[in-house]
Amino acid sequence: MDIIPILLIVLAIIVVLIAAALLIPVDISLRLFKEGPLAQLRMSFGFLLGTVSGHLEFSNEKRDFRLRVLGVTLLKRPFEKREEKRTDWKKIIWNASELYDAGKDLAGALTKNISIKRLGGRVKVGLSDPAQTGMLIGFLYAGRGISNALHPETHLEIEPSFEEEMMDADIEIRLRLPLFKVVIPLICFFRGIRKDF
């Protein structure tokens, strides 16, 4: 008879953790760095206010994933290239409208629920023709102005290079995603894809 209260307490703790994981938003941080031939992408995420966090890193030298709980690394694994299966393009083209509808619904749910907490960095760009560089820089400045109007916490530096052709960037974006608003669209998306594939 003593085991039933213990099982009920364990079940209650599990239910509370699941509810907390769904109700407390996930913090996502993306950083793209490119300088010359060196390119690097880092993605970090944190559940339950950073109690559980993960870190993905892709660069020319390394590709790895780290999972931490309460500051202790539980899993550290390098990504390895796997043998890829051949894509059945006929099946994808045949089911393109269903894939489009499912992807559109998922993208709509994500864009409605993701909030941008910070966007910043620097971009240095130059094209072969200085006139085209000037037009591109004007376009980027206009985009930065719109971004500043929508998100005042945006700090993006744009630097033209009229002498040489180049594209260097160091951009960081921080997002917040409430999982309970995305679970149902994700289930619908995977259910729709599973029918087709």
Number of structural domains (the chain) is 2
- Does the pLDDT at position 160 exceed 90? yes
For 96, other C-beta atoms within 10 Å of its C-beta total 11
Buried b (16+ CB within 10 A) or exposed e, 16-50: eeeeeeeebbbbbbbbebbeeeeebeeebbbbeee
Residue type, 163: E
Q: Are residues 142 and 70 part of one domain? A: no
Chain segment 107-136, per-residue pLDDT in tens = 998 888 888 888 899 999 999 999 999 999
Q: How far is C-alpha 44 from the geometric centre of its chain's CA atoms?
A: 9
Three-state DSSP at 185 gives helix
Q: Are residues 182 and 120 part of one domain? A: yes
Q: Are residues 56 and 124 part of one domain? A: no
Strand partners, 121: 156, 171
Mean pLDDT of the chain: 84
Query: What is the predicted pLDDT for the residue at 50?
Result: 75
Query: What is the predicted pLDDT for the residue at 170?
Result: 92
Report field, pTM of the whole predicted structure over 0.85: no
Q: In what order do the strands lie in the sheet with 63-69?
A: 72-78, 63-69, 52-59, 38-47, 26-35, 166-177, 115-126, 154-160
Query: What is the predicted pLDDT for the residue at 111?
Result: 87
Q: Are residues 93 and 167 part of one domain? A: yes
The average pLDDT across 81-105 equals: 78
Q: Are residues 105 and 67 part of one domain? A: no
Domain endpoint, select from 37, 60, 84: 84
- Does the pLDDT at position 188 exceed 60? yes
Residue 2 placed within a domain: no
Q: Are residues 117 and 67 part of one domain? A: no
Which is more confident, 74 or 130?
Answer: 130
Chain segment 19-48, per-residue pLDDT in tens = 877 788 888 898 988 887 788 888 888 877
Q: Are 80 and 171 in contact (CB under 8 A)?
A: no
Q: Are 126 and 166 in contact (CB under 8 A)?
A: yes
- Does the pLDDT at position 1 exceed 70? no
Q: Are residues 113 and 54 part of one domain? A: no
Query: What is the predicted pLDDT for the residue at 82?
Result: 66
Q: Which residue has the tokens 């995420």?
A: 45
Spatial distance between the Cα atoms of 140 and 171, rounded to a whole number of angstroms: 14
Three-state DSSP at 170 gives strand
The average pLDDT across 140-157 equals: 87
- Does the pLDDT at position 189 exceed 90? no
Query: What is the predicted pLDDT for the residue at 196?
Result: 62
Considering the chain, what percentage of its residues have pLDDT values greater than 90?
17
Query: What is the predicted pLDDT for the residue at 137?
Result: 93
Residue 123 placed within a domain: yes
